[in-house]
Amino acid sequence: MTDAMNDSGHGSLDAPFALRTPDLRLVALAPAAALDLSSGGTGGFTWIEGGPEEGTRIGAGLMAKAAAEGAYVPGWGTYILVRESDGLAVGAMGFHGAPAEGRAEIGYDVVTTARRNGYATQALRALTTWALSTPQADTITARTDPTNEPSQRALERVGFRRVASEDPAWLAYELSPFGTPSPCGA
């Protein structure tokens, strides 16, 4: 479900919308908040102890750079995972940019102290459902470290399938409702 505006009360009131899951609100980060977050700030959110993770700051930096270059497309940036029960930010998820040729890459992290609660799976399901409902995307891709088994399980629970990776340092995954991805051969 999408909200017309972010009603979280945290940060990004000019963000395009928020998505909800049973335990989370995924709040689309506004470009100014992304710049703050990437520069060591909070992005306007109250974070759970230990947050935000470095991956969140890197993702926000990519979004801030895209906005500065005029390449940011609302909806195709970073989302902060805000826990409904207490309003604390527990992680981030987002796209590495708007889709190109129907493909968009997603990345995410959850603060260490909030892991093992199903947040990544809930957020992946909500964000990929939204993305695949748009005319811009027909395939969502993801990469994960071969040793990150919890991330691999989250991707697989949402329906991602492992595919051949161009970079042997990463495992590659795809989610597409329009066909079966190519096998990974591994």
Give the DSSP per-residue string, 82-145: EETTT--EEEEEEESSS-BTTEEEEEEEE-GGG-SSSHHHHHHHHHHHHHHTSSS-SEEEEEE-
Block residue for tokens 């826990």: 83
Q: What is the pLDDT of residues 33-50, one digit of tens each?
A: 999 999 999 999 999 999
Using CA atoms, how far apart are residues 24 and 111, in angstroms rounded to an integer? Answer: 14
Question: How many C-beta neighbours within 10 Å does residue 146 have?
Answer: 12
Nearest residue to 132 via CA among 109, 96, 103, 100: 103
Q: What is the pLDDT of residues 142-173, one digit of tens each?
A: 999 999 999 999 999 999 999 999 999 999 99
Q: What is the pLDDT of residues 100-124, one digit of tens each?
A: 999 999 999 999 999 999 999 999 9
Alpha-carbon dihedral 15, 21, 24, 27, rounded to 10 degrees: -10
Nearest residue to 36 via CA among 63, 17, 16: 63
Q: What does pTM read for this prediction? A: 0.86
Give the DSSP per-residue string, 170-182: SEEEEE-TTSPPP
Q: What is the mean pLDDT of the chain?
A: 88
Strand partners, 80: 27, 92
Terminal CA-CA length for the chain: 37
Please tell me the chain's helix, strand, coil percentages from 3-state DSSP, rounded to the nearest 5. 25, 25, 50
CB-CB contact of 31 with 72 (8 Å): yes
